[in-house]
Structure 1
């Protein structure tokens, strides 16, 4: 049975994760460096094109030099798992819960963070050995979703993803999300000081 308990160590003292989607190699590198400088240790690059894979390779190599882990996102097939591994990813993230992808990622040595949005999916993930999940799309689910899930599933750990920024991150963290994943917020200079405040606690 696969496990993704590694995320407990990965996300220790890390309330934010960065998602760099479709930005190309140079911009992804620049924003990854910015995230690391802010204190955001984990970066995810969704892989949907060849350019995305080139960006992942570059950011993963840069992260390794600085001691940071870089993951591959939008991993929805075992083939994506293979591509992520070859590009240097340390973990995979998926929009939904597909145990075939979870198993392939685990076998490749990369913990998988599957997406969930319902109690049934959370229950299935937990019964499959997964304690960490990506709650997606969090902005639509709302903070109340996290409070509701904590009742029947106190052992579940959630990364709030989708529509997150410096304005609502603390609200979702307070509602029970362990981590909030931000994307475009990193491109907004006005949000950077607030993101730094969240990281520093």
Structure 2
């Protein structure tokens, strides 16, 4: 099983392609991969989204890249994600059954956390990479402070991240940034990549 340290090495962006038409999702993903700065996540809350994940995964294979499945909140969705070609799973919260199912499927899992207790329980469950969510509401200082008692945990700050605050979260110690709306709006991906290259 590949781990997030490998998947996200040198890649500060996890582009979240939620509710994006298939052709546009593939085009955005290809831009992310070509930049060398990011990974791609496709949330799978609907049957259409699962088909989008399948298409992006097919494109990923052609580019020697990978894609993960997001908003994976049930054991059944772990199976759907694997069948559609995802190589990792992401969730908005911490569900130990989903953590276990993802591990059993050979998919590293990135659970969402917003409190020190959730960080603690996620670490006990074997997760060393966590999604700080909603990062925009928690703030960069939350990330800076929670890293003190959990120095070995790696965080992907997600939610409310864009060109205006991306560097703040990276400076606070985020290993990567999960970005949705700022990536999928017209021209947003190029703007964000410019900030990350600066």
TM-score category of the 2 structures, normalised to the smaller one = over 0.9
The one of 107, 110, 116 aligned to 1:110:
107
Whether 1:174 aligns to 2:171 is yes
TM-score (norm 1): 0.93
- Structure 1: give runs of 5+ residues left out of the alignment: none
Write the distance in 2 (CA, Å) between the matches of 1:194 and 1:22: 19
2:163 and 2:195 in contact (8 A); partners too: no
Q: Determine the C-alpha separation between the residues in 1 that align with 2:109 and 2:77.
A: 12
CA distance in 2 between partners of 1:53 and 1:128 (Å): 27
Who is 1:96 aligned against? 93
Q: CA deviation at 1:41?
A: 3.4
* Stretch moving more, 135-144 or 4-13: 4-13
Query: Structure 1 128/195 Cα, relative in aligned 2: closer, same or farther at 3 Å?
Result: same
> 1:45-89 deviations in whole A, cap 9, x for unaligned?
000111101100000110111111100000000000010011000
Aligned length: 197
Normalising by structure 2, report the TM-score: 0.94
- Counterpart CA distance in 1 for 2:115 and 2:86 is 28
CA distance in 1, matches of 2:195, 2:36: 10
Deviations 1:101-126 (A, max 9, x none): 01101111111100000000001111
Provide structure 2 residue ranges, at least 5 long, that are not aligned to the other structure: none
1:40 aligns with 2:29: no
Instruction: Report 1 or 2 for greater relative contact order, CA contacts < 8 Å, sequence distance ≥ 6.
Output: 1
Aligned mate of 2:187, from 186, 189, 193: 189
Shift of 1:191: 5.7
1:160 pairs with 144, 157, 162, which one? Answer: 157
CA distance in 1 between counterparts of 2:144 and 2:53 reads: 34
RMSD of aligned residue pairs (Cα, Å)? 1.6
| Superimposed CA distance per residue, residues 155-192 of structure 1 (whole angstroms, 9 cap, x where no aligned partner) | 11100000111111110000111101112222342661
